[in-house]
Amino acid sequence: MKTYIYGVVLMPCLLFGVSAKAENLLQVYEAALAHDTTLQSADINYKIAEENRRKAISAFQPKVDVSASPYHADGSGAVSGAAIGYGVTVRKPLWDHAADIDRTAAASEVSAADNLYQDSRQKLFLNVASAYLDFLATAHDLKLIRKERDVRAEELQILERQYQQQNATITDLHELQAYQDTIDVRVVEAEDRLEGQRTRLFRLSGENYQALDDLREGWLEQFAPQRKAEYWQDAALKHNKPIQDALYQVQIAQSRLDAVRAGSDPTVNLVMQHNGDHYYQDNLGDRSDNRIGLEFNMNVYDGGRTESSVRKAKLELEQAQVNLTAQQDTVRQQVADAYRAVLGDYKRIRLYQKLLESSREALQTTREGRSLGSRTMTDVLLAQEKVFQAERDYLEIQYAYLLGLMKLEQTAGTFDLETLKSINAWASSSRQPGEEVAGMVGKP
């Protein structure tokens, strides 16, 4: 079984109410699998390559030709009258170097087409997981903003009563009302972003999801990054799909060069023939003969076409080798960047957690100071704003960390269906009845 270096972020239960039917990650992926036209095109491309391979193999199979031609003998020969000539030829290739190389090239093209299909699947895996988590992140952000709006609304009501009792100033009341109006705008903007994420999922899967299963917590200590950068570099050089495609293109270019060079090689076929004539006049007898032998063919001179084709094939091979080197260099840099981002996000999760805790403590202190008259309502509003912002940042960095891990695996070429299953195993729908799941953001 495949071992993963990470687990899954847990998010608090959210979305559109418990009555909405929530879909999990695998269900969304299955819908996308049937909907994705890029994957369908890659599948057709593979089937075409497979048919080309079968066509190349057929060059070594026996071939049977049947011919018939009616004619009329004019009597100048031994016989005259209406007749029909017929023939059956069976030709079995014994030696054809160029065709053998074509067969090797066709097999490489099948492998390249399969690699393209697998690359499309990996990209679909990542796109679905990314869209799924972005939907959850946006929905949780909307929930936090709504929570902030509700808290401000309660404080506004309290402040209005205090103002009526002359225990608060009109300035405090206006400031809080301005904050409330700003939050109302942010709620609308967050709702629009969520609709955008829903549209993104619809484009991927053809389904309009109202709710998605959340993910549970308990992942960070158990699934912290453990692999070194060298592991991911080695894995990418072996499994990265663009690198593998570049390797296949080098193999195909080499086979094409070999095939052009072999174009002047002789071919040898085993040939068996049966020929005859059938005359329609009863007094004339039919004639037939059987032959078996070897057929030898060789291109002696073609006006320099072969030499030019060889030079072209050499250049194409050189170009493929340069592309391979460039792709390897690109992937090395991509792996290094992805690995560095994962380590950075992992460290930032702890820092954002501490920031959230200190922001809550600062808010509590500010509230106590306001009750004693040493802090103003503006101070309280600013402290609250920092708490809510810290909650959003803490949530965002967790999603960024998980997405970064998946992108690292995708760059290394190891992101597959098992990865999705490992994520889906942490979905809230897999909890036991009655099991409590606490959100990572925590209570305000």
**Hey, how many other C-beta atoms are within 10 angstroms of the C-beta on 81?**
13
SS3 category, 74: strand
Residue 1 has pLDDT above 50, yes or no: no
User: What is the predicted pLDDT for the residue at 286?
Assistant: 73
Q: What is the pLDDT of residues 202-228, one digit of tens each?
A: 999 999 988 888 877 766 665 678 889
CB 250 within 8 A of CB 60: no
Q: Which band of pLDDT confidence, cut at 50, 70 and 90, is reported for residue 330?
A: very high
Q: Which band of pLDDT confidence, cut at 50, 70 and 90, is reported for residue 306?
A: confident
List, in order, residues 6 or more apart from 353 with CB less than 8 Å away. Answer: 394
Residue 440 has pLDDT above 50, yes or no: no
* Averaged pLDDT, 371-377: 81
Options 1.20.1600.10, 3.60.20.10, 1.10.645.10, 3.30.1490.20; CATH of 25-61+96-264+304-430: 1.20.1600.10
Q: Which band of pLDDT confidence, cut at 50, 70 and 90, is reported for residue 441?
A: very low
Sheet holding 80-96, edge to edge: 63-74, 80-96, 267-279, 287-297
User: What is the predicted pLDDT for the residue at 361?
Assistant: 95
Q: What is the pLDDT of residues 402-412, one digit of tens each?
A: 899 889 999 99
User: What is the predicted pLDDT for the residue at 211?
Assistant: 85
List, in order, residues 6 or more apart from 414 with CB less than 8 Å away. Answer: 2, 235, 239
DSSP lists the bridge partners of residue 96 as 267
For tokens 């309009």, what's the residue?
A: 208
Domain boundaries, the chain: 25-61+96-264+304-430
Q: What is the pTM of this model?
A: 0.76
Q: What share of the chain has pLDDT > 90, as a percent? A: 43
**Hey, how many other C-beta atoms are within 10 angstroms of the C-beta on 146?**
15
User: What is the predicted pLDDT for the residue at 435?
Assistant: 41
Question: Can you tell me the distance from the alpha carbon of 297 to that of 312, in angstroms, rounded to the nearest whole number?
Answer: 25
Residue 245 has pLDDT above 90, yes or no: yes
Residue 172 has pLDDT above 80, yes or no: no
Q: What is the mean pLDDT of the chain?
A: 83
User: What is the predicted pLDDT for the residue at 148?
Assistant: 85
User: What is the predicted pLDDT for the residue at 3?
Assistant: 38
Q: Which band of pLDDT confidence, cut at 50, 70 and 90, is reported for residue 439?
A: very low
